[in-house]
Amino acid sequence: MVIEEAASQLEALGNESRLKIYRVLVRAGQTGIPVGQLQERVGIPASTLSHHLKRLVDAGLASQERQATTLICRADYRSMRALIGFLSDECCAEEGCVASSR
């Protein structure tokens, strides 16, 4: 993972609304969750939610799949795994840190 990508993913997650959205996505598992239900769950206006979702998708943290008129959203676990890996490896490579204490 290159630093630009890590930064853009961290930026995407570095907003309370988006982090909440992302958390709901994660809890929805592989099944995913439609935008509408997501909206009820997080209580954000549709327009705003759509903007935030786009940021998460653009950052590679989530994906969307059309099923008729509804859009199913899913967290991309691989990217989160890669991001956690980056934080552990690149940013926590020295003594005293989680990576070395394992």
Partner DNA sequence: CCGCTATTTCCAAAGGTATGGAAATAGCGG
Partner DNA sequence: CCGCTATTTCCATACCTTTGGAAATAGCGG
Of 3, 48, 89, 100, which one interacts with DNA (CB under 7 A)? 48
Please report how close the Cβ of residue 47 comes to its own copies at its closest, in angstroms. Answer: 21
Helix or strand holding residue 36 (H, E): helix 35-42
Contact partner, 21, from DNA, its own copies, none, Cβ < 5-8 Å per class:
none
1 binds, among DNA, its own copies, none (CB under 5 to 8 A by kind): none
Which 53-72 positions form the footprint of DNA (CB under 7 A)?
53-55, 64, 66, 68-71
Q: Is 46 in the site for its own copies (CB under 8 A)?
A: no
Query: Which two tokens mark 34?
Result: 């439609």
What is the H or E stretch that residue 48 is in?
helix 46-58
In the bound complex, what is the minimum distance in angstroms from residue 42's beta carbon to DNA?
A: 10
Whole-angstrom distance, CA of residue 69 vs CA of residue 36 = 11
Which window, 5-13, 32-40, 42-50, 63-71, contacts its own copies (CB under 8 A)? 5-13
How wide is the angle at C-alpha 102 spanned by C-alphas 10 and 81, nearest 5°?
Answer: 30
* Residue 51 binding its own copies, by CB under 8 A: no
> What sign does the dihedral 51-25-83-92 (CA atoms) show?
positive
